[in-house]
Amino acid sequence: MHAPIQNSEVAALHESPVLPQIEFSSVTKTYGKVTAVRDLSMTVSRGEFLTILGPSGSGKTTTLMLLAGFEAPTAGDILIAGRSVAAVPSYRRDQGIVFQSYALFPHLTVTRNLEFPLEMRGINTAERTTRVRRMLERVHLSDLGGRMPSQLSGGQQQRVALARALIADPPFLLLDEPLGALDRNLREQMQIEMKSLHKEFGITTVCVTHDQEEALTLSDRIVVMRAGRIEQTDSPEALYDRPATRFVAKFLGEANIFENHNFKIESEAEQPSGTVAMIRPERICIVATDAGKRGDGDLRQFVTGIVDDMIYAGPLRKYHVRVGSSVFIVREHVAARQPIFRPGDGVCLNWLRSDIRFVAT
Ligand SMILES: Nc1ncnc2c1ncn2[C@@H]1O[C@H](COP(=O)(O)OP(=O)(O)OP(=O)(O)O)[C@@H](O)[C@H]1O
């Protein structure tokens, strides 16, 4: 066990260029017979935006609660800037928190909500006033300082919550489903704002969500959890393009898994044992059966099938195509002069052999 962290040491350690800012070392958390987090090890670098993504019950919130100090590990250790925080209670940890359960104080104005963390740190009135004014400007809420939370829209409340988490300049920020309560349009707008705030403040951030799009948009790296364990950690692009397992392939976006098909998969790479072939729906081209081969035909594999279903979804058209006993999902962007196929039409599906991926079963 490492020595517990001392407050006076925190600032210097956080400045260290070599240590990961946050490290989980073989952390397990059990509740009675349930193991919520199992032997989890991971690091978060300074300035990184790391998202923990996974289905319900996979241990995401427990991991964040452990990091926040609201729960203690059953085994293993959590290090912040290289030192164990096992013995440091949550209120003595220097961290910004935006949790759904950590709502704005309803009886305090926006300004007083923002002042609160500064007051807790003993910062004098004059400095508090300056910092609150500056922060309200940064999050474009200067006109709303006198309002009560109930007089704000959902998006504005969320912005105040972020501002409150950031105002005391914590070394890292913890977000739990930060945009979960917002409708789709507002969520997209807030994603862009959060991304630019993260860039501006450069603050190390750990975020929990089950919204894939949010994870893909905001994160430098994503940790995919399954049943208390880490299934894969990677950049959003790498996770989507090169999922390691069938679970990740299917959890993050749609995937065609080649199973029970009656043709041989042609790929550039050799298929490792214990894997299945996979291709993303947008990597498959759909053409009429008599359309002939494209210029890059010898790099492609061609199969024929029958359209089962066509779904029009705004900018996208999605087909279900039966090839032997398998059904393939094909997704294409709607474009001018593109042929539209109907259920019952015979079609040719083709894909680049280099777009085939092999994922562990
Ligand atoms: N306080 C608790 N007491 C008992 N079991 C718990 C407790 N907290 C979590 N668990 C269990 O631990 C497992 C992981 O829960 P956790 O809340 O971390 O999952 P999650 O991935 O955040 O899920 P969700 O997306 O639904 O919030 C679940 O099986 C859950 O029932």
Reported ipTM:
0.97
* β-pair partners for 278: 257, 357
Distances (CA, A) of 226 to 151, 186, 204, 210, 233: 39, 29, 24, 12, 12
How many Cβ atoms are within 10 Å of 93's Cβ, its own excluded? 20
Give the pTM: 0.87
- Compute the distance from residue 230 Cα to the ligand 1 centre, in Å: 15
Where does ligand 1 bind, in terms of residues with CB under 6 Å? 31, 34, 36, 54, 56-62, 210
Q: Length of the chain in residues, anyone? A: 361
Nearest CA to ligand 1 atom 30: 57
pLDDT by residue for the chain (361 residues), tens only, comes to 444 444 444 454 555 556 778 999 999 999 999 999 999 999 999 999 999 999 999 999 999 999 999 999 999 999 998 889 888 888 788 888 888 766 789 999 999 999 999 998 899 999 999 999 999 998 888 999 999 999 998 888 888 998 999 998 888 899 998 887 777 888 888 888 888 888 888 899 999 998 888 899 899 999 999 999 999 999 999 999 999 999 999 999 899 999 877 788 888 889 999 999 999 999 999 999 988 777 887 899 999 999 999 999 888 999 999 998 899 999 999 888 888 999 999 999 999 999 999 999 9
Query: Residue 186 half-sphere exposure, CB side, CA atoms within 13 Å?
Result: 13
C-alpha angle 239/26/178, rounded to 5°? 50
What residue ranges define each of the domains in the chain, with the CATH number in brackets?
7-246 (3.40.50.300), 257-360 (2.40.50.140)
Mutating to test ligand 1, I would choose from 29, 51, 53, 60 the residue with most ligand atoms within 8 A of its C-beta, which is: 60
- Compute the distance from residue 2 Cα to the ligand 1 centre, in Å: 28
Nearest CA to ligand 1 atom 16: 59
Q: How far is residue 191's CA from residue 188's CA, in Å, rounded to a whole number?
A: 5
Mutating to test ligand 1, I would choose from 30, 37, 51, 58 the residue with most ligand atoms within 8 A of its C-beta, which is: 58
Nearest-atom index, ligand 1, CA of 62: 18
Kindly write down the DSSP assignment for every residue of 223-287, as one continuous string: EEEETTEEEEEE-HHHHHHS-SBHHHHHHSS--EE--S-SSPPP-SSPPPTTEEEEE-GGG-EEE
